Structure 1
Amino acid sequence: MSKKDSAVLNPRTTTYEFLGPPGALLITIGVPVTTYALYFGCSEQSGGCPPTLVPERISLALSDPAWWKGLWDTQAALMYLGWYAFCLVAWLVLPGDLVAGTTLRTGGKKLYKINAFSTFLLALGLTSGVIYRFGPQSFTFFHDKFVGFITASIIMAVVQGVACYAASFRPGALLALGGNTGNPIYDFYIGRELNPFSWGSFDLKTFNELRPGLILWFLIDISMLCEQATRRGGFSQVTDSLWLTLLFQGLYVSDALYNESGIFTQMDITTDGFGFMLSVGDLAWVPFAYCLQARYLVFNPVELGPVWTVVVLICNFTGYYIFRVANAEKNDFRNGKNPKNLQFMTTESGSKLLTSGWWGRSRHPNYFGDLLMAFAWSLPTGFNTPITYFYVTYFAVLLIHRQRRDDEACEKKYGKDWKKYMQLVPYRIIPYVY
């Protein structure tokens, strides 16, 4: 690629998100710190959820070299590397279809090998075999070495972020339109290259999106269930609240992995570069922050009873129904199918936008379903602490920010047609509310 071609394909980014370099730096530091804080602020070892005498405890911990040393666990680091290697080998050896992504600015399309669900089933099969053969106590190591695993995942995310940023300067690299500002702090965080470390049907960004972190999240949930079973005398004594949490989050993970090809039209894949934002999110934040409810229920077991169980089930599966049906409507329509005869408007560019079904009720109905499910995951923990509702609060902020990014991108793409569309579909996420 000549310098002239590179300048055309990779124009300089002139606008910032996340409040620019200061915001990017704050989040780069803040995400790892928050991941640790969610553990130390809600754990048996630190004294509760939240622990008492928080300022004093923080001051003593940060001034104690032994505390800092305790963040590292060599065995946990080696196990984490082994897990990542397992995911790579599974991608390589397990069969999978080749699916084309969206058209790149170069005019071509990437082919992706999809076998994330097969990897998930293999991991579950091996896990089940270990637990069946050696008992629940054999699979509590994620619970026992939680902090060490956090540290290992963050180090992996930093290494990948640095490597991807450095590799993005090689000749011929296709950069993300939003990650070529020239500011190293911002570009490192947001992701400078669109698809770094991509060979053949392997792509690091899509690989990390679904495999190492998402599957690990559910394995950590299983580890928490095994810890409670060990303490209470067997799986028959595990609380209904923890079983529900495992069911809900397992269903969510399974659905994402089974519908792997659906991610190829998402903004993370089509638009964002792969930098520290995605690496730390995929590898550290998802598995070690999203398991908070399961981890809490280990040392604060909650018995819901039949009435509350039904209420929580209704909340979760209402959200799942909306999420799945909305995504099915969108995917069918993008693939030239319209089995429900949904109404749509045609823009001047020839693109078609749904204006009925769930996509006529709001511009992001799948986000609404996501939020209902997130709320249902927190309900089994009861109402003794707001910390276990951190996920749904954070997720609401994340989805509102993503909705605004989506709408801004669509306004640039469709111009006045987007204003006409917003009149037809006025609600952003929650029908008749927001």
Structure 2
Amino acid sequence: MAAPSSSKSATTTNNNNNSKKNKDYDNDDDDDDKYNKSNKSEYDKGTNYVAGGIEADPYLFALLIASPFLSLLLAYLTSPEFAAFHPEPPLLVSKLVPLCVANVGGCVTGIYSAGASVVPTVESVTFVLSFMGVALVLERLLPGKIETGPETLTGHVPKYVDNAVAHCFTFSALFVVGSNFGLNLYDFGIIYDLFPGSVAFLNLFGLIFCIFLTFKGRYFPSTQDCGSSGIFLKDFLWGTELYPRVGGLDLKRFINCRVSMTFWQLAGLSYCYRSYTLHGEQLDYGLFFAALSQYLYLVKFFYWEMGYMRSIDIIVDRAGFEIQWGCLVWVPSVYTLHSRYLVQYPSGLSFPVAACLFVTSLLGVVLNYLADRERDVFRATNGKCKVWGKDPTYIQAEYTVLDRKTGQKTQKTSLLLASGFWGVARHFQYFFELTAAWSWCLLSNPIRNGILPLFYACFLTYLLVDRANRDSDKCKAKYGKYYDEYCQLVPYKILPGIY
């Protein structure tokens, strides 16, 4: 795609009039510099660079309020206790929904009793705390290069030890060695066996943790990137601090990556093993390939972790219930749901069908990585690189930032890549991520097992569409007319011709 020569902001790598110091390279949710928010009062009200929090979307807000109980209910629906009453897959639409319509009162009572039956146990609390403890030790001991995140509006530059890949493989090795495959401290299927109690404990821990974060951001923040909306519920849901630290530990990265993503990565393997032992040592190809693909996807995530630390989840969203509780509880509950479901209700997929879905999921994972990699190379080379064998097309966008300490305004520029994957759609990498997600859920064989295992893919689709809209609003506010020019070059957000 060629940039229009009449536009003074459209340029290729031959233009290098501005110094690298005053440039950042923005396309998607990775904003590499201060946000263009000169309205101090809005920041102090807690809008955190972009207008509104998740409560601006009534559907996500409703899900947010219901999610603590829903996570318990999903744990029960995938437990051995539920399977004892429903030896065949419970087809929600054709069986359970009509029953609920016929007896609404009894249905509500039954649903409440089911969710309330999921409570912490001593074993599950011990497991979760041990899991977090190992992650904490590795976070402190594993070496790595010091990397930085984007500078904030207040001049804070977050620093991280880039030891994600070492953490990924070290934790995996320790989990295997500690199990019945090594020291025999626990059974390798422990994550499935203790899942209901673990989620119940994580629910309580997450709520208390988010209350702590709310008060920490208000009264003893780690940086100046903090503030209160004046409404406790909004502060609790959205957060009051951008980069909370305790004893030098970055709480966002520790919870989001070292605990949440590691749990997701190992859960599928644990579920696969429990299914194997539960069903006469027969391998469920759907579960096996889903677990393997997700493990590899999360290896990619840890390899790309510093990119995540520069994403909208980190540099825009404050550490509140929405993101911190979400990573602690929602990710284990929903992101592993399709795999966890198969422990009691095998997919029954043949090897060829499961293998085809596996290959499709890997294509999604690989292409998602290549898209992120393409953007990273573009940034690292200051736009002086080839994209799909050609000089890249991009918009050189100007914007103004305000230093709240001095009141001084600074003119800066961003390069908005409009070539390669980023010329197909503004968030084409989301399509690849959804390709992987839908492949994992289809490996649960919804034709046989019903629609419940599709919940993760449906949720992620809605989430990424919402995120694309949020990012467009943020970039429009930041770049103004330059972003309009970029949208003319790349008119679609996620999928060309559709959205």
Whether these two folds match at TM > 0.5 is yes
| Corresponding residue to 1:161 among 207, 210, 213 | 210
Which letter does structure 1 place at the counterpart of 2:155? Answer: G
Residue 305 (structure 2) pairs with residue 260 (structure 1): yes
Structure 1 segment 326-365 matched on structure 2, within 5 A: 326-337=371-382, 338-340=385-387, 341-349=391-399, 350-365=413-428
Which letter does structure 1 place at the counterpart of 2:395? Answer: M
Shift of 1:13: 3.8
Shift of 1:17: 3.2
Count of equivalent residues: 423
Which letter does structure 1 place at the counterpart of 2:138? Answer: A
| Corresponding residue to 1:229 among 251, 256, 276 | 276
Matched with 2:199 is 150
Which letter does structure 2 place at the counterpart of 1:194? Answer: L
Structure 1: segments with no counterpart, 5+ residues: 1-6
Please identify, of 299-308 and 287-296, the stretch whose mean Cα deviation from structure 2 is larger: 299-308
Q: Contact conserved, 2:44 with 2:229, CA < 8 A, in 1?
A: no
| Corresponding residue to 1:49 among 90, 99, 104 | 90
Please identify, of 251-260 and 358-367, the stretch whose mean Cα deviation from structure 2 is larger: 251-260
Residue 324 (structure 2) pairs with residue 279 (structure 1): yes
Shift of 1:264: 2.2
For the residues of structure 2 that align with 1:21 and 1:355, how far apart are their CA atoms?
29
Which letter does structure 2 place at the counterpart of 1:411? Answer: K
* Residues 106-140 of structure 1: CA deviation (Å, up to 9, x unaligned): 22412111223222212211222223237898222
Shift of 1:27: 4.4
Matched with 1:248 is 293
Shift of 1:26: 4.0
Q: Contact conserved, 1:193 with 1:274, CA < 8 A, in 2?
A: yes
Q: Structure 1 pair 290/148, CA: closer, same or farther in 2 (3 Å)?
A: same
Specify which structure has the higher proportion of helix.
1
Larger radius of gyration: 2
For the residues of structure 2 that align with 1:401 and 1:158, how far apart are their CA atoms?
25
Matched with 2:362 is 317
Q: Contact conserved, 1:136 with 1:230, CA < 8 A, in 2?
A: no
| Secondary structure, counterpart of 2:146 in structure 1 | strand
For the residues of structure 1 that align with 2:438 and 2:355, how far apart are their CA atoms?
14
Structure 1 segment 386-405 matched on structure 2, within 5 A: 386-405=451-470
Q: Structure 1 pair 242/176, CA: closer, same or farther in 2 (3 Å)?
A: same
Q: Contact conserved, 1:136 with 1:229, CA < 8 A, in 2?
A: no
Which letter does structure 1 place at the counterpart of 2:229? Answer: T
Which letter does structure 1 place at the counterpart of 2:336? Answer: C
Matched with 2:403 is none
Structure 1 segment 8-27 matched on structure 2, within 5 A: 10-13=43-46, 15-20=51-56, 26-27=62-63
Residue 435 (structure 2) pairs with residue 372 (structure 1): yes
For the residues of structure 1 that align with 2:185 and 2:439, how far apart are their CA atoms?
26
Which letter does structure 2 place at the counterpart of 1:38? Answer: L
Which letter does structure 1 place at the counterpart of 2:215? Answer: A
Shift of 1:286: 0.9
Q: Contact conserved, 1:322 with 1:368, CA < 8 A, in 2?
A: no
Shift of 1:44: 4.5
Which letter does structure 2 place at the counterpart of 1:141? Answer: I
* Residues 117-168 of structure 1: CA deviation (Å, up to 9, x unaligned): 2222122112222232378982222222221100111122112211111011
| Secondary structure, counterpart of 1:102 in structure 2 | coil
Q: Contact conserved, 1:180 with 1:192, CA < 8 A, in 2?
A: yes
| Secondary structure, counterpart of 1:193 in structure 2 | coil
For the residues of structure 2 that align with 1:82 and 1:415, how far apart are their CA atoms?
49
Matched with 1:107 is 155
For the residues of structure 1 that align with 2:319 and 2:186, how far apart are their CA atoms?
38
For the residues of structure 2 that align with 1:390 and 1:140, how far apart are their CA atoms?
23
Q: Structure 1 pair 422/185, CA: closer, same or farther in 2 (3 Å)?
A: same
Matched with 1:308 is 353
Matched with 1:91 is 139
Residue 288 (structure 2) pairs with residue 239 (structure 1): no
Matched with 1:170 is 219
Q: Structure 1 pair 9/17, CA: closer, same or farther in 2 (3 Å)?
A: closer
For the residues of structure 2 that align with 1:408 and 1:362, how far apart are their CA atoms?
16
For the residues of structure 2 that align with 1:312 and 1:391, how far apart are their CA atoms?
16
| Secondary structure, counterpart of 1:152 in structure 2 | helix
Structure 2: segments with no counterpart, 5+ residues: 1-39, 400-412
For the residues of structure 2 that align with 1:230 and 1:306, how far apart are their CA atoms?
19
Please identify, of 210-219 and 15-24, the stretch whose mean Cα deviation from structure 2 is larger: 15-24
Superposition RMSD on alpha carbons, in Å? 2.7
For the residues of structure 2 that align with 1:146 and 1:50, how far apart are their CA atoms?
22
TM-score for the superposition, normalised by structure 2: 0.78
| Secondary structure, counterpart of 2:491 in structure 1 | coil
Q: Contact conserved, 1:24 with 1:186, CA < 8 A, in 2?
A: no
Please identify, of 133-142 and 154-163, the stretch whose mean Cα deviation from structure 2 is larger: 133-142
Question: Sequence identity, in percent?
Answer: 27
For the residues of structure 2 that align with 1:260 and 1:319, how far apart are their CA atoms?
18
Q: Structure 1 pair 331/404, CA: closer, same or farther in 2 (3 Å)?
A: same
Which letter does structure 1 place at the counterpart of 2:344? Answer: F
Q: Structure 1 pair 75/123, CA: closer, same or farther in 2 (3 Å)?
A: same
TM-score for the superposition, normalised by structure 1: 0.89
Q: Contact conserved, 1:131 with 1:138, CA < 8 A, in 2?
A: yes
For the residues of structure 2 that align with 1:364 and 1:215, how far apart are their CA atoms?
26
Matched with 2:29 is none
Which letter does structure 1 place at the counterpart of 2:260? Answer: G
Q: Contact conserved, 2:269 with 2:292, CA < 8 A, in 1?
A: no
